[in-house]
Each structure stands twice: as C-alpha cells, then as structure tokens.
C-alpha cells in the first residue's frame, strides 16, 4: 500500500533554494569529474581515496546531467517542444557516447561513453508524460535483464573484473545498468519524482531499494576478485556487478539529490502552513490530533494520520 495518497497533479514552479541545491550539486559533480580526468584529485586527496573518486566518474556525469533534467524539465507540464527537444538532445548524447567509444582518447575520458549513451536513451524516455501504463517499465526491466543474461552466455570470464571485451553487453555494462536502475528507481519505486500525482511507496519498500543500491557495490568489492573467477553463474554475476557499480553510484546521486530537494520543499511548506494557521486552529489541533496537514513531494498537500 502507498505511504500517502496522491495529491493534486499540479507541478509548481521551483523555488530558489531548491533550484540552487540542484545546480550546486550538478556543478560540484562536474568539477569533481573534471578534476579526476585531469589527475588533480590526487593533489588534495589521499591517493587511495582519489583513485576511488576517479573510478566513479561515469556516475558523476550521469547524475550531473540527469538530476537537473528531471527537476527542471521532466517533472514540468512541458510544451509541444519538450519531447522534440528531448529527442534531439538524446541523439546528441548518443552521438557523443558513440564517438567516445570509438575514440583513442585517454581512458578517463573514453570511459564516459557509457553514461553518455544512457543519457541519450533516458532523456527522451523520462520526458514522456506520466503516468505510463504499468506494464511499460516492468517490460523494459525484464527486457534489459534478459538481454544481459543472454549476453553473459557469450562472456568468457577471466581473473579480475575484465570480461570478454568484444561483447557489447559487457563493455557497455555501466550504460545498460544506468538505464535499468533509472527505470526501476523512477518508474517503479520513486514514481513521484517524475509524476507529482503519484503516491509514494511504503517507507520500508523504499528503504529496501536504497539498501540494495548501497550494499551491492560494497558486498561485491568485499568478496574480492577471486570470487569473480570461473564460468559459474555466481562468479559471472559478481564479475558483471563488479564492472557496473558506477551505475549504482549514479542513480544514488540522482535520487539522493531529489529526495533532499523534496524534503526541503515539504519542510518549507509545512512552516508556511503553520504560520498561516490561526491560533484557534492550533489549539484545536492540540486537543484533537487525529489529522495534520503535510506537504507531499513537489507541492502536494496531503492528510497524514
């Protein structure tokens, strides 16, 4: 059951504070990405930590582009130009991604082909009017998982996280999982991020989803590379997850930023409601606390028990 009932399907204008949060996070991720590509992170961070920062660069680019797109474009009502522009931008990102993939640039730059390709697919998809038919995201998730499974039949695992590099399911793993996790997160778990009229899932279900996002890379890393050797499904799956953990970082950054913005909007709205409510109403609330007014994501007013 949903945690809250959906409120009005109004998509209000972004407030100043929330706009700055989105912009600062995105600019910060881009600066971190640039510093990592230029090899500057080791100048002001411990070497071990700096290498981990650089290793997650795909997730930074993905979150830096997708978060403002969702907040400023995808969740808004849109105009007749919104979908055509999203398609053009999607084609641009696909072109950039394929260009990087076939380039001879430094590895720290070439590796950004995967988030670029994922953005090329997701920008038009996430801009489609919500709600979608319930079967659409589920069908997409199943199709992606089947594609990955079939692709892994062709993989030839070797020690470490390297797998058959001529298998596109393998060498585009981060991009595939960025698309997969985005569909799961934004169309199945946190639907309110794209559709303000959607109710939130129960807190336990959402917490379970985020626990999987956080723990999967940690557990795979803790098991070590020796656990990824062999042609068994368990070792092959660990091998694949070892390659794609940047996707988990990317979607965590997107959802984390939007959750922070939503929390601040609700807090601000509740303060305004409290200040504008007459004192007599506050007194009645103290005597009969059966209901209170709270703000839902992106501007809903809902009644919570």
pLDDT for 164-189, tens place per residue? 556 788 889 999 999 999 999 999 99
Tell me which residue range forms the domain holding 99.
16-272+293-304
Give pLDDT, residue 292: 39
Residue labelled with tokens 């940047």: 246
Q: Residue 116 falls within a domain, yes or no?
A: yes
Q: Residue 8 falls within a domain, yes or no?
A: no
Q: Residue 50 falls within a domain, yes or no?
A: yes
Domain count of the fold of the chain: 1
Give pLDDT, residue 98: 94
Q: What are the tens digits of pLDDT across the range 89-113?
A: 999 999 999 999 998 888 888 889 9
Q: Which residues contact 61 (CB under 8 A, 6 or more apart)?
A: 29, 30, 33, 112, 115, 116
Give pLDDT, residue 32: 87
Give pLDDT, residue 156: 62
How many whole angstroms separate alpha carbon 112 and alpha carbon 22? 22
Q: Residue 10 falls within a domain, yes or no?
A: no
Sign of the alpha-carbon torsion through 112, 116, 122, 126: positive
Q: Residue 42 falls within a domain, yes or no?
A: yes
Nearest to 253 by CA among 115, 113, 95: 115
Residue 292 bridge partners (DSSP): 304
Give pLDDT, residue 155: 64
Pairing relationship of beta strands 292-295 and 301-304 according to DSSP bridges: antiparallel
Q: Which residues contact 246 (CB under 8 A, 6 or more apart)?
A: 55, 56, 57, 58, 59, 114, 174
Q: Which residues contact 157 (CB under 8 A, 6 or more apart)?
A: 163, 228, 229, 230, 231, 235, 236, 239
Give pLDDT, residue 6: 42
Tokens of 170: 């393998």
Angle between helices 173-184 and 113-127 (to 10 degrees): 30
Residue 301 bridge partners (DSSP): 295
Q: Residue 110 falls within a domain, yes or no?
A: yes
Tokens of 36: 């990592």
Q: Residue 82 falls within a domain, yes or no?
A: yes
Which regions of the chain are under pLDDT 70? 1-15, 42, 48-50, 155-166, 277-305
Q: Residue 190 falls within a domain, yes or no?
A: yes
């Amino acid at each position: 059951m949903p945690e809250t009932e959906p409120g009005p399907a109004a998509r209000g204008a972004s407030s100043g504070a929330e706009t700055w949060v989105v912009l600062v996070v995105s600019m910060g991720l881009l600066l971190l990405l640039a510093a990592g590509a230029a090899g500057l992170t080791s100048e002001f961070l411990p070497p071990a930590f700096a290498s981990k920062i650089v290793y997650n660069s795909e997730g930074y680019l993905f979150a830096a582009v997708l978060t403002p797109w969702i907040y400023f474009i995808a969740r808004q009502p849109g105009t007749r130009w919104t979908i055509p522009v999203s398609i053009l931008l999607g084609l641009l990102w696909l072109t950039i991604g394929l260009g990087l993939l076939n380039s001879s640039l430094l590895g720290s730059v070439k590796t950004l082909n995967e988030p670029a390709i994922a953005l090329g697919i997701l920008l038009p998809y996430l801009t489609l009017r919500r709600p979608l038919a319930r079967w659409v995201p589920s069908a997409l998730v199943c199709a992606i998982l089947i594609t990955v499974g079939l692709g892994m039949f062709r993989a030839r695992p070797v020690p470490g996280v390297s797998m058959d590099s001529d298998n596109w399911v393998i060498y585009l793993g981060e991009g595939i999982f960025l698309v997969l996790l985005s569909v799961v997160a934004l169309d199945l778990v946190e639907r309110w991020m794209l559709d303000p009229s959607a109710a939130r899932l129960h807190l336990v279900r959402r917490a379970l989803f985020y626990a999987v996002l956080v723990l999967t890379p940690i557990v795979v890393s803790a098991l070590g590379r020796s656990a990824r050797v062999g042609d068994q499904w368990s070792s092959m799956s660990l091998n694949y997850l070892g390659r794609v953990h940047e996707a988990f970082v990317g979607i965590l950054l997107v959802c984390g930023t939007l959750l922070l913005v939503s929390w601040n909007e609700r807090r601000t709205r509740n303060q305004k409601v409290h200040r504008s409510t007459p004192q007599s109403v506050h007194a009645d609330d103290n005597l009969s606390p059966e209901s209170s007014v709270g703000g839902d994501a992106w501007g809903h007013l809902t009644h919570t028990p």
